[in-house]
A and B are shown apart, each in its own frame.
Chain A
Amino acid sequence: MSLQFPIYLDNNATTPCDPRVVEAMIPYFTNNFGNAASRNHPFGWAAEEAVDYAREQVAKLIGADPKEIIFTSGATEGDNLAIKGVFEMYASKGNHIITCNIEHKAVLDACKHVEKMGGEVTYLDVKEDGRIDISELEAAIRPTTILISIMYANNEIGIIQPVHEISALAKKHGVLFFSDAVQAVGKIPVDVNKDGIDLMAFTAHKMYGPKGVGALYVRRKNPRVKVTAQMDGGGHERGMRSGTLNVPGIVGFGKACELCRTEMEQDAAHTSKLRDKLEQALMQIEEAYVNGDVNHRLPHVSNISFKYVEGEGLMMGFNKNIAVSSGSACTSASLEPSYVLKALGLGDDLAHSSLRFGLSRFTTEDQIDYTIKAVTDTVLKLRDMSPLWEMYKDGIDMETIEWAHH
C-alpha cells in the first residue's frame, strides 16, 4: 500500500477512533437514543443496559468494580472532580495536597484553585529522568495531608512514575492517592488494586475511543472514598457527577477499553518496536538527546531534543506530511518552552529543540521510515543555517556570550 499523507504521530494529543469503536457507537445515536436515567420505558432500559455493559468493560481494563467507575466528560473533569472533590469532602481531616511540577495543567490548575480556597499544596520537583524522588514525597507528607496526586505516566516524555512506591507511602500515612492516568490506561497494564490507587482519571480519546467521555475511578473498599460533586443536578453517577450520560460516547469508551485490554500486548509490541526503530535512527544525528527515563517509559512515546535547531522551525520542514508536537512554544504569547522539559533540568535551548513522537496501533513501518528521513534531512538543513550550530562547531562556548535577553 502506498504511503498516505499526512502521517499522524501525535497520539499523545489524541488518537483516532478505532473503526470497531465507531461501529459499536452508531446505534446509540439513532435507534437506541434513550436517556439512561429514564427508568420507565424500553428506550431508557436499552440505554441503561448499554451503559452498564460499558461500565463493566471500562472497569475490567483497570481491575476495578463497575460500581467504582464514574463517567465524566474527560480527564480534565476527572482531575478537577478528584482534586477539588477530595479537598471539599475531607476538609475536616486536613487541607494539604502533594503533587509534582510535571503534572498536566488540569491537575496543576485544580491545585491552584484549591490554594485559593485555603488549601495548601506542595509541588514536588522531579529528577532529571522525570520521575519523582520517593524520599522527597515522604518528607512532604504532613499530618494535614489528605491527597497525593501524581500522574501515572507523563504526556510529554512518556515516563512512568513509581506508582507502587507512591501508593505504599500513601497507605502507610493514611493519605489518599489520586493518579491522572490518561496516558497509561490502555497502553500498559494498570490495575487499581495492584497499583494501590484510590482515585484515577482517564479518558477515551487517548485510547482509540471518542472525545468527550472519560471516567474517574473512585475506590469503594479499603478505604471507601468519596468526593464532593462539582456540578449540581440530578445526582447521576452515585451523586458524584450529575448530567445526562453520554450514552454513545460511553458505549464507544467501553468498546475502546475492551480492545485495549485484549490487544494491549500486541499494540505495545508493535508501537515499541517502531518507536525504538525511530529513536535509534534519529539518535544517529549528532547532538540529539532523548528526554526522560528510557527504562520507565510508555511503549509508544519518544521525546527527542535536536540541539541547535528550534522545534517549531523544525516541524515546519515536514508538518505538511507528518504531525508531531514540539516542546517549543514560539506561538504562545509567553514564548515559554515546555515546563515539563524545563522541570527535568533541561536548558531552555534544549527544551526549545524538542519533538515528541507518539505512535499508535495504526502506525506503520513505512510511516516511520519516511519520518526518519524527513526529520533527519530537516535537522541537517536547519543546522546549516543555525548560528548556534556554527558556534558549536567552531568550539565557541555559548555560555560566555552575552545574549540580548528580551
Chain B
Amino acid sequence: MAYSEKVIDHYTNPKNVGTLDKSSKNVGTGLVGAPECGDVMRLQIEVDETTGTITDAKFKTFGCGSAIASSSLATEWLKGKSVDEALTVDNMDFVEELNLPPVKIHCSVLAEDAIKAAINDYRVKNGMEAIQFEESVVH
C-alpha cells in the first residue's frame, strides 16, 4: 500500500512533536489507543483561559505512518482554534485531508478521540463537566 504525499510529508517532518506540562491547569492531555493494538496517541493542548483559545498543541504517537500523520495534522489544526471549534473536528476531516485508505480509518478515529480526550481533561481540570461523547467505533 502506498502512502499519500501528505502522509509521507507529516511522517517525514512531523509538526509539534513534544510534551506539555500535563500537571499545568491550562493543559489538557488525551492518551488514546493501546500498545496491544499497535497505536497509542498522546495529544496535548494548551488553552488560554481568558479567551478559550488553544495556544499550543503537541503530540507523541506510537503507531504506523498514518497514525503519526493524523496526530501531527491534529496539532496543526488545533492551534488557534477555540476549544468549542476543536470539538467539531471530525475523523473524516483527517481521512479527506490525508487521503487515508479504508484500512487506515481507525487512525483518524483515534485522532478525533485524542482531541476529545484532551478537551475533556482540560474541562475536568477547570471544574467543568466532561462531555459525554458517543462511543466511537474504532478498529
A positions within 8 Å CB-CB of B: 308-313, 316-317, 328-333, 335, 337, 347-349, 352, 384-390, 398, 401, 403-406
Contacts and interface: CB of A to CB of B under 8 A. Distances in A.
Contacts of B53: none
Contacts of B37: 335, 348, 405-406
A325 to B, nearest CB: 14
A371 to B, nearest CB: 19
Nearest to A337: B38
Main secondary structure of the interface of B (DSSP, over half): mixed
Counting chain B CB atoms within 10 Å of each CB, the highest count among A308, A330, A401 belongs to A330
A356 B104 CA distance: 23
B63 A313 contact: yes
A333 B101 CA distance: 12
Contact of A316 (B33, B35, B65, B113): B65
Given A312-B65, A330-B63, A331-B1, A388 B14 contact: no
A389 B19 CA distance: 12
A385 B35 CA distance: 14
B39 A310 contact: yes
B41 to A, nearest CB: 7
Given A316-B64, A387-B41, 17 more contacts: A310-B39, A310-B63, A312-B65, A313-B64, A313-B67, A316-B8, A316-B65, A317-B11, A335-B106, A337-B38, A352-B38, A385-B61, A387-B40, A387-B61, A388-B40, A406-B37, A406-B106
8 contacts: A335-B106, A347-B35, A348-B35, A348-B36, A352-B36, A387-B42, A388-B40, A405-B37
B68 A405 contact: no
Interface in B20-50: 31-42
A200 to B, nearest CB: 35
B103 interface: yes
B132 to A, nearest CB: 15
Contacts of A330: 38-39, 63-64
Contacts of A401: 31
Given A331-B1, A352-B38, A405-B37, A388 B64 contact: no
Counting chain A CB atoms within 10 Å of each CB, the highest count among B33, B39, B62, B113 belongs to B62
Contacts of B61: 385-387
B60 interface: yes
Contact of A387 (B1, B38, B62, B113): B62
B2 to A, nearest CB: 10
Task: List 8 tightest A-B contacts by C-beta distance, closest first.
Answer: A403-B34, A348-B36, A349-B35, A387-B42, A387-B60, A316-B65, A312-B64, A352-B38
Nearest to B3: A316
A310 B62 CA distance: 6
Contact of A388 (B1, B8, B62): B62
A10 to B, nearest CB: 16
Contacts of A390: 19, 60
